[in-house]
Amino acid sequence: MPFEEYRRFVSRSRSLVEPIYRSSIRKGHLMEKAIFYLVHYGLAVVLPAVSFLKKPVSMLGLWLGTAFSIATMAFLFLWGQWPLVGSYYARYLPAALAAAMFVLALLRTRTKLPLWPPRIFGSVVVVVLGCSAGFVICFVVLAFAGRWHPERGIDLQFPLKGGNYFISSGGSSRTINNHMRDFPNAQEFAIDIHKLGVLGGASSNIFSSSNEYHHIFGEPVYSPCAGTVRESKKDVPDNAGTSMDVDAEDGSGNHLSIVCDNAVVSLMHLQHGSVLLEQGERVEAGQEVGKVGNSGFSQEPHLHLQAAVRNDAGRLVGIPMRFGDRSLARNDISTSAN
């Protein structure tokens, strides 16, 4: 096959396959989003409904079932990324339902119930409930403990102004920080930031993945410290909603890395063409450096912020960041004036 004919064949094949590939990616993201909504709202509704409708047959079954349900509600409260599925204030739904289930359990203790279920099936259910409650409680403890950091780390200025900003991922536990791994890495204590609207949502339209609906998209980003630009990139296109059709070398998207004292502070997933500084330039704390985008490995507009130092092996490893007197973790809100 002549070279030109081969090129035309490859081009035609790609034009046929690419729409199918992109369609499958979109369907995958839609399925992922549906599951995300189901976990948040499905569990928050189904477990309380079962608790209210199912009559207990033993005292152990009553309290172990209640413990399992309340632990699950506590986990949803600590782990859930509620602004991404509606509103920050929706996280108080599982908290209120947990309180209601506890009151219901107290009222049901007035009924005469045997300590242990009279039937074998009931005994199996009690054992399963006990193990399930213990399992979920472990994750609740991990999520709660992850809100504290093992060391002070680096003091930074918050990189956004004029609004309420929600931390969707951050902390010292993998349960609430998607950047944590089993090995030290530069993103270890990174945080992902979204802007909240009046109703507490990250987007004004939860049924659309369009970048423009996200309150943070296009927001000015300010340098969190004074230093020298180590790395700068601004030519990566913004993703169209949840699609991430990017090469591995563009995973950070448009970004800026700044050497502040002995740390490397990085701002990632910035808007295409918005980065204002080049490598080697000096930057002051609070200086505008770009705008929030949706570039690189990013499924929705947000700002990724991390700080890292080199260990003895010369590898960049993440360190905690403090803003004033706070280290931010998932579900924290930072209110920043203009």
Q: Looking at the 3D structure of the chain, how many domains does it have? A: 2
Domain match, 99 and 133 both: yes
Is 10 inside any structural domain? Answer: no
Question: The domain containing residue 260 runs over which residues?
Answer: 154-336
Q: For every residue of 205-256, which 3-state class applies, written as one string?
A: CCCCCCHHHECCCCCEEECCCCEEEEEEECCCCECCCCCCCCCHHHCCCEEE
Domain match, 211 and 112 both: no
Instruction: Determine the Cα–Cα distance for residues 148 and 240; give it in Å rounded to an integer.
Output: 35
Domain match, 141 and 66 both: yes
Tokens of 305: 């912020």
Domain match, 187 and 278 both: yes
Last residue of a domain, one of 119, 145, 171: 145
Is 26 inside any structural domain? Answer: no
Tokens of 324: 């004033």
Which residue spans within 101-146 are E strands per DSSP? none
Asked if 117 and 57 count as a contact pair (C-beta separation under 8 A), the reply is yes
Is 25 inside any structural domain? Answer: no
The pLDDT of residue 8 is 42
Which of 285-297 are b and which e, b meaning 16 or more Cβ less than 10 Å from the residue's Cβ?
Answer: eeeebbbbbbbbe
Q: How many CB atoms lie within 10 A of CB 108?
A: 16
Last residue of a domain, one of 120, 145, 170: 145
Is 5 inside any structural domain? Answer: no
Domain match, 93 and 186 both: no
Mention every residue, 6+ apart, whose C-beta is less than 8 A from residue 31. none
pLDDT in tens, the chain (338 residues): 443 443 343 344 444 434 433 444 454 466 777 888 899 999 999 999 988 888 888 999 999 999 999 999 999 999 999 999 999 999 999 999 999 999 999 999 888 889 888 889 889 999 999 999 999 999 999 999 999 987 778 999 999 999 999 999 999 999 999 999 888 899 999 999 999 999 999 999 887 778 999 999 999 999 999 999 999 999 999 998 776 778 888 999 999 999 998 999 999 999 999 999 999 999 999 999 999 999 999 989 999 999 999 998 889 999 999 999 899 999 999 998 66
